[in-house]
Amino acid sequence: MWTLYGLKTCDTTRAARKWLDARAIAYVFHDVREDGLTKALVETWVKRLGWEKVLNKASTTWRELPDTEKSGVDSKKAITLLLAHPTLVKRPLLDHDGDFTLGFRDSVYEELFG
């Protein structure tokens, strides 16, 4: 089963969904803001991908955080931030039975779905 994590309003997430839909690939969409995140899920992402990749420091949410929240980020603090602000997750995040792909590029998805 494929699960795509992202935001309905995110252009990159919309592009990934459009790509999947155009190829009739079945997946479940999980809006991180509306559907929320669990600590276990975020911990798994951070453990497998590294907090530096999962935490989107280019996001508007990150830029709007107070400097005190942005300083001294490590794995534990990243998990806390991601749970408090799900929009900090790099999007989209595609999960296929525990294999994760971050972001969207046609070439990467072509390779994944052959």
Domain residue ranges of the chain, discontinuous segments joined by +: 2-113
Q: What is the pTM of this model?
A: 0.94
Q: Decide the pairing of beta strands 2-6 and 28-31.
A: parallel
pLDDT in tens, 2-50: 999 999 999 999 999 999 999 999 999 999 999 999 999 999 999 999 9
How much is the pLDDT for 48?
97
Residue 100 amino acid letter: F
* 30 Cβ neighbours under 8 A, 6+ residues apart: 3, 4, 5, 6
Q: What dotted CATH number matches 2-113?
A: 3.40.30.10
Please list, residue by residue across 33-60, b when 16 or more beta carbons sit within 10 angstroms of its beta carbon and e when fewer do: eeeebeeebbeebbeeeebeebbbeebe
3-state secondary structure (DSSP) of residue 113: helix
Active-site residue set? 10
Residues 6+ positions from 62 with CB-CB distance below 8 Å? 55, 56, 70, 88
